[in-house]
Amino acid sequence: MLSHGRRFDRTTALFLSLLAVAFIAATFDVRSDGGGVGGVMRDGAQLLFAPVQRAVGLVAAPFVGFVDGVSNLAGLRAENERLRREVARLEAQVRETEALERRVAELEAISGLEPPQELAAVTARIFASGASDFDQIRFLDKGKADGILPGAAVIDEHGLVGRVDRVTEHNARVRLITDPLVSVGVRVQPSNETGVVTGRGGDVLRLEMFQATEPVYEGDVVVTDGSRYPPGILVGYVTETADVVVGFVLRTSVEPAADLAEVDFVKVVVGWSPLDAGLVDGEEGVEPPPFVEPPAADR
Partner 1 sequence: MRSRGTALALVLVVAAVVAQTTVFGADGVRPFGSAPNLVLLLVVVCARWLDPEPALFLGFTAGLLVDLLGSAPLGIWAMCLTVVAYLTLRVREHVADGPFVVAVGILGLTLVGQLLFVVLGTLFGLQTISDPQLPRKLVLPALYNVALAAPAFWLGAKVLRPHQRTWVGT
Positions in the binding site for partner 1 (CB under 8 A): 1-3, 7, 10-11, 14-15, 18-19, 21-30, 34, 38, 41-42, 45-46, 49, 52-53, 56-57, 60, 63-64, 67-68, 71, 126-139, 175, 179-181, 200-204, 260-264
Alpha-carbon distance 44 to 132, whole Å? 20
Please say which residue, 11 or 213, places its beta carbon nearer to partner 1. 11
Please say which residue, 103 or 125, places its beta carbon nearer to partner 1. 125
Alpha-carbon distance 227 to 212, whole Å? 18
In angstroms, give the least distance from the CB of 122 to partner 1. 19
Please say which residue, 136 or 227, places its beta carbon nearer to partner 1. 136
Please say which residue, 135 or 218, places its beta carbon nearer to partner 1. 135
User: Which one-letter amino acid corresponds to residue 86?
Assistant: E
In angstroms, give the least distance from the CB of 134 to partner 1. 6
Alpha-carbon distance 279 to 227, whole Å? 7
- Phi, psi at residue 6, to the nearest 5°? -60, -40
Q: What is the DSSP string of 93-141?
A: HHHHHHHHHHHHHHHHHHHTPPPPPPPPEEEEEEEEE-SSTT--EEEES
In angstroms, give the least distance from the CB of 138 to partner 1. 6
Please say which residue, 18 or 104, places its beta carbon nearer to partner 1. 18
Considering only CA atoms, which of 203, 207, 220, 202 is closest in space to residue 251? 207
Beta-strand (E) ranges in 190-295? Answer: 193-198, 205-209, 221-224, 234-238, 250-256, 265-269
Helices vs strands, H then E, count in the chain: 3, 12
In angstroms, give the least distance from the CB of 120 to partner 1. 26
In angstroms, give the least distance from the CB of 13 to partner 1. 10
Please say which residue, 59 or 99, places its beta carbon nearer to partner 1. 59
Please say which residue, 134 or 291, places its beta carbon nearer to partner 1. 134
Considering only CA atoms, which of 165, 56, 172 is closest in space to residue 122? 172
Please say which residue, 1 or 109, places its beta carbon nearer to partner 1. 1
In angstroms, give the least distance from the CB of 70 to partner 1. 10
Considering only CA atoms, which of 183, 178, 154, 180 is closest in space to residue 166? 154
The length of the chain, given as a count of residues: 299
Q: Are 164 and 177 in contact (CB under 8 A)?
A: no
